[in-house]
Structure 1
């Protein structure tokens, strides 16, 4: 299927973005089906999960993967795959540890101290999708980042596969559960006889998995809703196009609903990319955007808020500091998106569907929460009460006012 060609300037860039986003088909609604699965698992525990596993093609074997099976999977792992996973584990871990926020303490004018403490959640789950292929890289991205955050217990849930099991062992997961789909998310959120309830669930998955995470987000923390993956390439003169065309084609492997977009103010570069993409003969959403100038390129990029944004060519370094909305920004002709998927050290769990406008990729912060710790001395309490009592009275909270007024200097026992 030939790539679609569109044009834009700064003023029409929002319309061009909307046009490309409309090309992605709306997912079918599975809300009611997922709601039923969650309720059934919450009530039925292990037996309900196993029933759904058998119904949806699972083995029906015990939910927890045994130590012997995990050890066998690791022993059978090809050496080159193990070396690659170990590099990914090291790089992702180093970046994740560097991204943890330091604690802060503030002494305010009235004398009270407010300390902002970073504390990890107690239990986290990493979901890895099944389907046509296993994704051990998703295990790495989730488990290693949770460990870097200081999470005490980290478990993996996924349809059973030796690659998943081996990756979980290499990453140091505490338990592995052979279950997938919405029933796995429900089990992790509610807990069953075998599966302990967790505090946070992260990881990609199909529409049922994503819907279950959204429905259960009031009970557990989640990393967000993952829609179809996307890639936007902004290319300017001075680069070899073949690797960049392969980057676009690689992104299409995620599915026919995964948009790949190339943007440039150079029509000749787009013509060359179009010829290479069309020669591939594949299907999917492929769009070439001819922008009137560099500012129009930037307007499109910021509006599209790509999950993956590659900048290649003479303008790459100048554009990079101006990008605010990409899930992952890859700068330079050698910075292919596939490296970010595996071993670059950045996380590949990223905001999709333009959510980079307000959301971030997975990091240690998704497994930590910030807790304020307040210490108020007598002098500070007196000053604060004089300011806050009128507010509480205005809001109609008499006991709030009384509890603070009791700490005024004149109201304390002598």
Structure 2
């Protein structure tokens, strides 16, 4: 097998740099009409025929010989069995990662609060976990037990009453690591269904699959399209694009390390994006040489090659200040600050899903076991979105209690504003509670 790279080289000093960067970053995840219609048909079938439709679609799309919905349900005992089927080293790694993820997310928990004003009015916020969350997990060989931990553990830390996992098992292929991760993370129920039909089942419920309040987890274009369509019926985490990494380096890190960091995202799929930004042109040359040297050693060399050639780039900037400006412009999913003093630059980072500080902090550590969540905003959405967390599985209700005096005082203000909006019933409702001079 022959692989070679022709990674793009950009220079921020060029007049048309902004245009080239925009072109490099452009990504359309919009479904075509055929995919969209197929997903709508699947959702409609699941809503109308429930379990029967799930069995039928699982037979057709996954090649699973299921006769009834009971053939697609895994109980807690089956998850515990998976723990005995993986190696001791694998179990220890899962448990250590789960513990670190749990400890990190415990710090994100929000508590209810109240305060009392001088007149006795009480205002506050009540924080309540969701009743039930649905976790979509890709199945077969492209399975990610780490994603099970990252999606299920924050839900459990938040206090979600029930976590329901759906995972396809194409041609009956069960990934024991995924089931073991589900066991360790505390998943309550597992259904071996996937695709748009699984999303529809979680959103609307069937005779066997319970309706959830929010659906999280990655999937293919059919899953992403289905999540778009059921949003509003349920909450969703995000519509994720391809994985991304942006490395900002001062030129002093081992170029082999940087090349492998770029590969770590490029190997996900051909549309993944790996970009290096540095003010050191000679260093960019050395990294390019490392890429060519190391690529033939990679198991997923062909995927990496297509990703690097199609969406990768080495970007030269004037100085580190401009490197940070470019990083904020890109708003990457993963940002590595591979520099001598990352803490000095951190205050200037405004847009990034996760920030990996220093030369020794590879993005891969964050994917598996550092602790913070690896479900991150992609395609520039870090400008307004955050990593998945406990807060995604909690909702907030406002608390308002007015004392007699407080209702009277606020009633004057509400009355003026309501009448200004020609909402007379609003005004009179507030006015009824305004105290008269006699206090009645």
What TM-score do you get using the length of structure 1 for normalisation? 0.95
Deviates more, 1:105-114 or 1:313-322: 105-114
Other-structure match for 1:242? 256
> 1:13·1:299 contact (CA, 8 Å) conserved in 2?
no
Alignment counterpart, residue 8 of structure 2, candidates 4, 7, 28? 4
Q: Which runs of 5+ in 1 are unaligned?
A: none
Q: Distance in 1 between matches of 2:182 and 2:223?
A: 20
Other-structure match for 1:378? 404
SS in 1 for 2:286: helix
Q: Distance in 2 between matches of 1:51 and 1:274?
A: 50
SS in 2 for 1:119: strand
Is the aligned partner of 1:305 residue 2:331? yes
Deviates more, 1:331-340 or 1:94-103: 94-103
Other-structure match for 1:206? 220
Cα gap change, 1:10/1:354 in structure 2, threshold over 3 Å: closer, same or farther?
Answer: farther
Deviates more, 1:109-118 or 1:374-383: 109-118
Cα gap change, 1:102/1:14 in structure 2, threshold over 3 Å: closer, same or farther?
Answer: farther
Provide, for residues 233-268 of structure 1, a one-character-per-residue CA deviation record: whole Å limited to 9, x for no partner. 001133222222111111111101001000001111
Other-structure match for 2:56? 51
Other-structure match for 1:356? 382
> 1:265·1:292 contact (CA, 8 Å) conserved in 2?
yes
Other-structure match for 1:114? 123
Is the aligned partner of 1:71 residue 2:71? no
How far is 1:194 from its partner?
Answer: 0.7
Q: Distance in 1 between matches of 2:101 and 2:229?
A: 29
> 2:215·2:237 contact (CA, 8 Å) conserved in 1?
yes
Other-structure match for 2:135? 126
Other-structure match for 1:100? 109
> 1:104·1:116 contact (CA, 8 Å) conserved in 2?
yes
Other-structure match for 1:344? 370
Q: Distance in 1 between matches of 2:17 and 2:109?
A: 36
Q: Distance in 2 between matches of 1:9 and 1:217?
A: 43
Alignment counterpart, residue 180 of structure 1, candidates 194, 199, 206? 194
Q: Distance in 2 between matches of 1:193 and 1:49?
A: 11
Is the aligned partner of 1:20 residue 2:43? no
How far is 1:214 from its partner?
Answer: 1.6
Q: Which runs of 5+ in 2 are unaligned?
A: 297-304
How far is 1:19 from its partner?
Answer: 2.5
Q: Distance in 1 between matches of 2:354 and 2:407?
A: 46
Cα gap change, 1:201/1:28 in structure 2, threshold over 3 Å: closer, same or farther?
Answer: closer
Provide, for residues 199-218 of structure 1, a one-character-per-residue CA deviation record: whole Å limited to 9, x for no partner. 01111111111111121110
> 1:10·1:295 contact (CA, 8 Å) conserved in 2?
no
Q: Distance in 1 between matches of 2:436 and 2:121?
A: 19
1:199-348 equivalences under 5 Å are: 199-279=213-293, 280=295, 282-284=305-307, 285-314=311-340, 316-348=342-374
Q: Distance in 2 between matches of 1:322 and 1:16?
A: 24
Q: Report runs of 4+ in structure 1 exceeding 4 Å deviation.
A: 9-14, 24-28, 108-111, 411-414
Provide, for residues 92-144 of structure 1, a one-character-per-residue CA deviation record: whole Å limited to 9, x for no partner. 11111101234332445764211112110100111111253211111100111
How far is 1:395 from its partner?
Answer: 1.6
Q: Distance in 2 between matches of 1:152 and 1:411?
A: 51
Provide, for residues 335-388 of structure 1, a one-character-per-residue CA deviation record: whole Å limited to 9, x for no partner. 111111100001111101110000001000000011111110000000011111
How far is 1:67 from its partner?
Answer: 3.7
> 2:251·2:278 contact (CA, 8 Å) conserved in 1?
no
> 2:10·2:17 contact (CA, 8 Å) conserved in 1?
no
Cα gap change, 1:374/1:412 in structure 2, threshold over 3 Å: closer, same or farther?
Answer: farther
SS in 1 for 2:110: coil
Q: Distance in 2 between matches of 1:134 and 1:354?
A: 25
Other-structure match for 1:87? 96
> 2:275·2:314 contact (CA, 8 Å) conserved in 1?
yes
Q: How many residues align?
A: 413
Q: Distance in 1 between matches of 2:437 and 2:106?
A: 49
